[in-house]
Amino acid sequence: MTEMLWTSEEIVAATGGSVAGGNFAASGVTFDSREVEDGWLFVAMPGTVADGHDFVARAFAAGAVGALVNRPVDGPHVLVDDVAEALTKLAIAARQRMTGTVIGVTGSVGKTSTKEALFAALDRYSPGTVHRSVKSYNNHTGVPLSLSRMPRSSEFAVLEMGMNHAGEIASLTRLVRPHVALITTIASAHIEHLGSMEAIADAKAEIFEGLEPEGVAIVPEDTPYRDRLVKAARRHAERIVTFGGGEADVTAIHAVKSDNGGSLVTARLLESELTYTIAQRGDHWVTNSLAVLAAVEAVGADLAVAGLALADMGGLKGRGERHRLPAHGGQYLLIDESYNANPASMAATLKSLGEERDAVRRIAVLGPMRELGDKADELHAALAPAVVAADVDQLILVGADMRPLEDALDGDVIVDRAEDADEAAALLAKIVEPGDAVLVKASNSIGLAKLVERMVREPACSI
């Protein structure tokens, strides 16, 4: 039976609004009218492109039982002065009534993947009692939405926080109030806005400011900014746990490739050792798994069960999902990494492509990395060694911003150029052959997810 999230009276108490059109009880919350399900609350968020109030009628037609609005509408609603502020107040109320354990996750790379792996581990330990962030909604609207969707009976919640500028995570973590705050890694994502790697580390370390009393900070060992993060954590955390290599508290004693292409790992934790397999491929997933286990141990959940969850975890859409697709009477492998990209994640996924030893050829469809500022050309060109080391046979580079990479390769790899995702799909369809392994990766705004969708939908020979 679906748990009621909010009654109209509770929404009024949280937001200071007033009910009109009749009382209601909602089992879900969304600000996207396309997501509305029967019994949900629709939050009519203002926007720069569209105003949610224009979609209230559509939301009610889709099954919404009520709306959160700043002007009267037809149908049951709670009227407030400021919808965005009201959603934040609803998030605060949701966090206040939840008595379980909250884990906050941030980082330059891997935060969504780590969040999903943590959810899988905890949900296997305590089925049906774990809440997590909606999709990758991790900003000033996504975090309040994720909190407002949190059932009051949740025993665990795993909430992701992102940022583009200093001060943003500080605001979000005070809403989330985590018992455990985890930073996955520090990389050059968002350097355009923050100016230096030290500033990026400081911005990520803001997550510790929201820690609950006796909270635990989990910090990556394998970063030049490790001591900087630890120093920031000491101001707020009762305990600090490091993960990764070297002298980390949680580390891999050894890790080897497993038969399924993932990894077989023996990890040393604070109070035990654990041998487990990871379904996901790549050394970066070994590091992700150590972060997950550090958090699982910190909240007192079952580490062995977490290991089983890591073994069973499938690929995430846009973050390593693997498709076996038809081409000219055979099949090729398409690796979907289209959701996002920065220098660290580009290097990690190219390395994984190079480890596809059964591939006849390795093809990479790469688009630009965003938010790199005046370092963009330099950082794109710096991908050349990773491309060469991965034994990439052919590249399709999407957009003019990828020219520095082509210039840096200086003819070492065959390169085709495409203006957009559709042109890249057409090029890929012409060259892909049975046995090929194809990596697709770019920042989300480039839209290479459309290429993946098209290749999945249509056989290569028909495009």
Angle between helices 197-205 and 226-234 (to 10 degrees): 30
Positive or negative, the Cα torsion across 414, 416, 421, 427?
A: negative
Q: Parallel, antiparallel, or unpaired for β 156-160 and 101-106?
A: parallel
Single-letter code of the amino acid located at 259: D
Which of 273, 308, 272, 310 has the alpha carbon at shortest distance from 118? 310
- DSSP E strands in 328-460: the ranges are 330-337, 362-366, 394-398, 414-418, 437-441
Q: Please give the backbone phi and psi of residue 159, each rounded to the nearest 5 degrees, phi first.
A: -125, 130
Cβ partners under 8 Å of residue 250, min gap 6: 241, 242, 243, 244, 267, 268, 269, 270, 290, 291, 293, 294, 297
Binding positions for ATP: 107-113
Q: How far is 203 from 65, CA to CA, in rounded Å?
A: 39
Structure tokens at 187: 């990389």
Nearest in space to 252 (alpha carbons), one of 282, 223, 281, 290? 290
Rounded to whole angstroms, how far apart are CA atoms 240 and 231? Answer: 10
* CA-based nearest residue to 354, from 330, 389, 399, 380: 389
φ and ψ of 252, to 5 deg: -85, 115
How many residues in the chain? Answer: 463
Give residues with Cβ within 8 angstroms of 298, minimum separation 6: 180, 216, 218, 239, 241
Please answer whether residues 26 and 65 qualify as being in contact, where contact means their C-beta atoms are separated by less than 8 angstroms: yes
Residue with tokens 């890790």: 255
Rounded distance between C-alpha atoms, residue 125 and residue 304, angstroms: 9
Measured between alpha carbons, how far is 138 from 143 in angstroms, rounded to an integer? 5
β-pair type (263-268, 216-220): unpaired
What lies within 8 Å, CB to CB, of 215 at 6+ separation is 178, 179, 180, 181, 208, 236, 237, 238, 239
Residue positions in the annotated binding site?
Answer: 107-113
Long-range contacts of 58-65, Cβ-Cβ distance < 8 Å, separation of 24 or more: 58/33, 59/33, 62/33, 62/36, 62/37, 63/36, 63/37, 63/38, 63/39, 64/36, 64/40, 65/24, 65/25, 65/26, 65/39, 65/40, 65/41
Rounded Cα distance between 391 and 355, Å, is 9
